[in-house]
Amino acid sequence: MRLLLVVACALIDADGRVLIAQRPEGKELAGLWEFPGGKLDANERPEQALIRELFEELGITVKEPCLAPLTFASHAYEAFHLLMPLFVCRRWEGFVAAQEGQALKWVFPKTLRDYPMPPADAPLIPALIDLLG
């Protein structure tokens, strides 16, 4: 099965809430809430891809040392096996603002279960609860 590498980020604010974004209509998994991120372009390292995606999707600038790896998601869909490192980030420049019309929410990790997530993202919740309470 084809392996698809995607990177995602839990942005963490000063109160210990994390950012989730709703996948827009017309995209696969539309309506589900995910940790922002996306696919690696050719020749990108995961951190570079994530810095690019966070700028494209949220308009923020992240410096590479501010990205810390937390865990991996792994989920086999029909068409591909998705492997997705999750980074956490507490420092960035600029203001988080949806650049692609997507809804955004800051939520405490314990309430993440109230938001329907893609099958790759939901298993990441316990690691965030362990980290942030």
Residue 82 or 89: the one with the smaller Cβ distance to ligand 9L3 is 82
Kindly state the smallest distance separating residue 7's Cβ from ligand 9L3, in Å.
7
Task: Write down the H helix ranges in 13-122.
Answer: 46-58
Kindly state the smallest distance separating residue 53's Cβ from ligand 9L3, in Å.
8
Question: Which does residue 16 touch among ligand 9L3, Mg ion, none (CB within 5 to 8 A, set by kind)?
Answer: none
Name the residue number minimizing CB distance to Mg ion: 38
Q: Where are the beta strands (DSSP E) in 1-133?
A: 2-11, 18-22, 33-34, 37-39, 68-76, 80-89, 104-107
Neighbours of 124 (CB within 10 A): 23
User: Cα 85 to chain center, whole Å?
Assistant: 9
Residues binding ligand 9L3 (CB under 6 A) = 6, 8, 27-29, 34-35, 37-39, 82, 118, 120-121
